[in-house]
Amino acid sequence: MLSTTSMPPAFSKRLFVFDFDWTLIEADSDHWVFEHLCKELYQEQLEAVGKVQWTDLQQRLLGELFDRGVSRDDIEKTLSQVPFAPEMIEALQLMKSQGAELYILSDANTIYINTVLKAYDIDHLFTGVITNPAEFDKRGRLNVVRFHGLDQPPHNCPLPCQPNLCKGQVLQKLIDAQTWQQVIYMGDSTNDFCPSTRLDTNDIVLARRGLLLEKEITERPELVHANVVYWNDATDVLRATEAILFNTLSSSSSSSSSSSMSATTTAASSTSSLLIDVSSSKAAEVLSPVESSDSRLHAQAVRA
């Protein structure tokens, strides 16, 4: 059962915070742009994975993209075609309709994320987008800079965060800003682990099945106090959203093999008491679509 020992005020809201690449969208936006606009630079990007600071690499490659004649319009049109599952949008709309606050916390950039959100007409659902700042200059060259700039002292996070962004520190500020009924963090990758450790026992981590966030949670479960819900696709997320918002996650019933949503076992840490597996009973044998694409390269980059 979810803890009832520290009930929040009745008026408090839920806080949902999302990673973007391979979490809200079915792609890595940094890869998507170059893959569709310049194969040569895309190859260069792939070869640089793990060798160069990622934001700095994007800034350099975007300059080369501009030099090759790719326009602002080209970039925006390409971003508008990023796959965004209808069930994910339905889940976001449901969260908002139930009074939750929604934030994106990503290692992509403001232009990519805002362009995609506007293309799907869902930008109004989010209270904030926290990511690397970006803007087009007057010529149409896109510039992106690190969220945590080199002009600041290092954030010194001991967990696997990138030097340009400790998602945990940012999430902590959101958590501390007001009293929340519950905090839900959703992600897929290594740098989603730090924010996952910031949640409390009443909170929920929505971790994408089979990717690096699951690996981190499995290897260091003692650092995750929240309940962990694993998901494969947007349909799973929609199911989980309904369960969270309408409090059916508090079920302590035993597993039902015929049900696609089973509230069954223990959470990541020994102090938590709930893990909901919203993925189907076939989850273990069904690879997520992202497993077969660039997520492995994405994983090597150890970024969102």
Binding site residues, Mg ion, CB under 5 A: 19, 21-23, 188-189, 304
Shortest distance, CB of residue 284 to Mg ion, whole angstroms? 22
Catalytic residue status for 19: yes
Phi and psi at residue 238, to the nearest 5°: -65, -40
Q: In this complex, which beta carbon is closest to Mg ion, that of residue 28 or of residue 277?
A: 28
The pairs formed by 256-263 with CB atoms below 8 angstroms and a separation of 24 or more are 257/281
Nearest CB to Mg ion, comparing residues 19 and 236: 19
Contact 34, 63 (CB under 8 A): no
200 is catalytic: no
Distance of closest approach, residue 187 Cβ to Mg ion, in angstroms: 6
Query: Which amino acid, 14?
Result: R
CB of 298 to Mg ion, least distance (A): 7
CA-atom Rg of the chain in angstroms: 19
Residues 37/78, Cβ–Cβ less than 8 Å? yes
Residue whose CB is nearest to Mg ion in the complex, by number: 304
Judge contact between 16 and 182, C-beta under 8 A: no
Q: How far is the CB of 278 from Mg ion (least distance, A)?
A: 19
Q: Sheet with 101-109: list strands edge to edge.
A: 128-132, 101-109, 13-18, 180-187, 204-208, 227-231, 275-277, 262-265
- Give the whole-angstrom CA distance, residue 144 versus residue 124: 23
Q: How far is the CB of 295 from Mg ion (least distance, A)?
A: 9
Do 175 and 181 meet the contact criterion of CB atoms below 8 Å apart? no
Catalytic residue (one of 19, 28, 30, 192) = 19
Catalytic residues: 19, 21
